[in-house]
Structure 1
Amino acid sequence: MAIRDRLSGNEAIAIAMKQINPDVLAAFPITPSTEIPQYVSQYVADGEVDTELILVESEHSAMSACIGSQAAGARTMTATSSCGLALMWETLYIASSIRLPITLALVNRALTGPININADHADSMGARDAGWIQIYSENNQEAYDNFIQAVRIGEDKEVQLPTMVCQDGFITSHAVENIELIEDEEVKAFVGEYIPVASLLNAKEPIAIGPYDSPHYYIEHKRQQAEGMNKAKEVILKVAEEFEKVTGRKYGLFEAYQLEDAEAAIVIINSTAGTAKAAIDKMRKEGKKVGLLKIRVFRPFPHEEICDALSHLKAIAVMDRSEGFSSIGGPLFAEVRSALYEAENRPMLINYIYGLGGRDVTTTHIEEVYNQLFSMINKNQTGQVYRYLGVRE
């Protein structure tokens, strides 16, 4: 039976952690994710969970502690944002290469330079090739649901990889929305007991963690790691199917909104998808065939499925809330463009960098993007590919 409540995104993640009751939470505070370990620390103090709370001196130490505890066979979690994730950089690669299914709540925030504490995706996009599964959340409900599913996905024996669940800083992390929670016992049953494939504390099967990997073996280990990521796609869909049976809420690799008969579409990640949906509803009433593809799973990137979903369109704008400094577009644009390379009739494709450092994005901005796409269709010309949205030039 669903429990109706009103929660911020950070509260929703903390409640998911409480319901899962992990063995270890290691964390260091950083805005805007600080509330997550703060809430969990209160659960620990009140005896509501059995979790061992490890408070450390930095985010690098937080992930190091996570690696140690997960390697010892303990289900382990953490939360961070922005420069906190950047300080974890070295250990992100260690966690994924050792195949440790740590679950991380990432509250997306701009990376420093200049200092900014608001939402963009520079942190997670910077870590996109670190070997972590990445799942993105439009709203608080999705953040809660995705976090619960992430535990099952990463721990699957065919995957055995760490997973980060992303949501936009302040926009969802601190905004309060209506949400449906799952009963505690149902969450515990869905996630199940963690049984590690191998652990440092298993004296019958001794293992080495973090040894030197010579050229004779390194590439084979990377190949195994890549195969775990390849298999994650199937596991993500399987877990989503089981989750739908429990909650009635359906998830996939992405969400297609009004896309089937659309001529122009936007590809986007996280909270701005809600703004885009409102703009689409308005423009649909005006007779304009517009649609949306909202990425849920960025790693592994579902190239084939995205190509199938987008190849019938005439024009597409890929929206990046992260500047990749490649001079040809952002990271999401590069992935989508690559996915569409195999399409027989490739749509015209442009990229918009938007919302950096928390810059507001309105339905008017989204309508402007769609109008630009229709202009391209009418002229049969792409024009400038790499664009900025809502910036003072």
Structure 2
Amino acid sequence: MLKQIEGSLGVAEAVALCRPEIICAYPISPQTHIVENLGAMVKKGTLQDCEFINVESEFAAMSVAIGGSVAGGRAYTATASQGLLYMAEAVYNASGLGLPIVMTVASRAIGAPINIWNDHSDSLSQRDCGWIQLFAEDNQEAVDLHIQAFKIAEELSLPVMVCMDGFVLTHAFERMDIPSQEQVDQFLPPYDPRQSLDPENPVSIGAMVGPEAFTEVRYLAHAHHLQAFAAIQKASDEFREIVGRKSGGLIDLYRPEDAEVMVIAMGSVIGTIKDVIDEMRADGKKIGLLSVKSYRPFPAAEVADALKGVKTAVVIDRALQVGIGGVVTDDVIRATRKMSDLDICGVIAGLGGGAITKHSLHQIFDMALKKDLPELYFLDLDKKVVEDQLKHEQEERHSGPMAEAIVKAVADLHKGEL
């Protein structure tokens, strides 16, 4: 059914169609509207046979989801930013125990300094936690990925994060096609957990594992992620057959034919990049786009295959490994380490909600086509502001709060533009 609704409500409706039995909720922007809408559905009775549990923290939210999943229930929660970090111990526990929990991460920057706007710092900080991570390009895909996530999670007995850009998607009103309950029931079978506690057949779940078996246990998690490649693609294909729409999968290519430069990106910036590529293609410039849909497991073989014959890969990274560079850039480098004729340029862009404009993308893509783009580039960075601050810190021992000094310098710089 076509609806013009907020992204958060679209996701809430998609989750409700999956018939969850436990929803654990703790508010943190920008995911709050999702669980608020789900809570309203439970209260009104439109979402039945589901226990909506308000908890005292994000750590408690994941802990309750673990308990509900171990007890044999289909469990869901949502979080963002510092909330994801606060539940990190339990996040690792959920994957280590092999529990098919689904969680929305409404991606947002991590402080300090405090910043509530969108980038991928939170979700990518948990890239090694053992969860499958799927990234949505737009709200329609966010709806579809949540439905696919439950199937993937339950087939593999692994937890799945669906990462959607905070505010940019969660709070945007746009047209979405919400599948019918009949379509979702056809796609997603009733919950049949691989493991659950049963008083009639008592077992231990989460007991201590010593050094004699820990490597094997961790390798099992790795093996499950290798199995996830097929499960993710299968879920995407089956969803398309039932609903009639392509979404999800491992990667997606846009205008890759004869591309000399291939842009690699995840999330909502993909729409803007497609517009820029269309404009550049109209001018005869050979450029294409590789969208990463599954970040964990990372589809290294598919990425390497898509980059054959390409001269330069430009990776748009919305998270920074301080002192090294882009997060996704490292995954691309690893995936293509045998391709000696490929140049890889990492572009740090849109941190803390910074605008990624068509004008700036045109500039860096043109630089890449001319082989002028450096290995690491910070989009629209005002280096003078930073250099002035570094100089001030060298000259003045008691130089004061760093972030506030940068904010003031930027404000002073742009006074004349207001």
Two-structure CA RMSD over aligned residues (Å)? 1.1
Alpha-carbon offset, residue 248 of structure 1: 1.9
> Within 5 Å, which residues of 2 pair with 1:186-265?
186-200=183-197, 202-251=198-247, 252-265=249-262
Deviation at 1:86, TM superposition (A): 0.5
Q: Contact between 1:340 and 1:346, CA under 8 Å: does it hold in 2?
A: no
- Please list the CA deviations of residues 345-393 of structure 1 after superposition, one character each: whole Å capped at 9, or x if unmatched: 53111101000000011111111121110120xxxxx663111001211
Task: Please say if residues 261 and 288 of structure 2, whose CA atoms lie closer than 8 Å, have aligned partners that are also in contact.
Answer: yes
Q: 1:151 to 1:110 in 2, by over 3 A?
A: same
Aligned to 1:64: 63
State the partner residue of 1:356.
351
Check if 1:30 corresponds to 2:20.
no
- Residue number among 165, 172, 175 corresponding to 1:175 in the alignment: 172
1:104 paired with 2:100, answer no
Q: Give the drift of 1:171.
A: 0.5
CA contact (8 A) 1:320 1:331 kept: yes
Which segment is superposed worse, 332-341 or 208-217?
A: 208-217
**Contact kept in structure 2, 1:311 and 1:346, CA below 8 Å:** no
Matched, 1:311 2:308: yes
Matched residues in 1 for 2:285 and 2:145: separation?
32
- For residues 159-209 of structure 1, give each alpha carbon's deviation from its aligned partner in whole angstroms, at most 9, with x where no partner exists: 211000011111011011111111112112211111111211x23432212
Whole-Å Cα distance in 2 between the matches of residues 260 and 244 of structure 1? 24
Shift of 1:243: 0.5
Greater mean alpha carbon deviation, residues 93-102 or residues 9-18:
9-18
Unaligned residue ranges in structure 2 (runs of 5+): 384-418
CA contact (8 A) 2:121 2:318 kept: yes
Moved over 3 A (4+): none
> Structure 2 CA distance, aligned partners of 1:189 and 1:21?
13
Matches within 5 A, 1:1-393: 3-49=1-47, 50-156=49-155, 159-200=156-197, 202-251=198-247, 252-325=249-322, 327-343=323-339, 345-376=340-371, 384-393=374-383
Distance 2:52 2:104 in 1: 16
How far the C-alpha of 1:238 sits from its partner, in A, is 0.9
TM-score, length of structure 2 as denominator length: 0.89
What letter corresponds to residue 211 of structure 1 in structure 2?
A: A
CA distance in 2, matches of 1:364, 1:170: 22
Name the counterpart of 2:388: none
- Tell me how far 1:328 sits from its aligned partner: 3.2
Give the gaps of 5 or more residues in structure 1. 377-381
> Residue 364 of structure 2 contacts residue 373 of structure 2 at CA under 8 Å; is this kept in 1?
no
- 3-state SS in 2 of match to 1:342: coil
The TM-score, its normalising length taken from structure 1, stands at 0.95
CA contact (8 A) 1:138 1:270 kept: yes
Distance 2:25 2:307 in 1: 40
Aligned residues: 381
Given residue 26 of structure 1, which amino acid in structure 2 is its aligned partner?
Answer: C
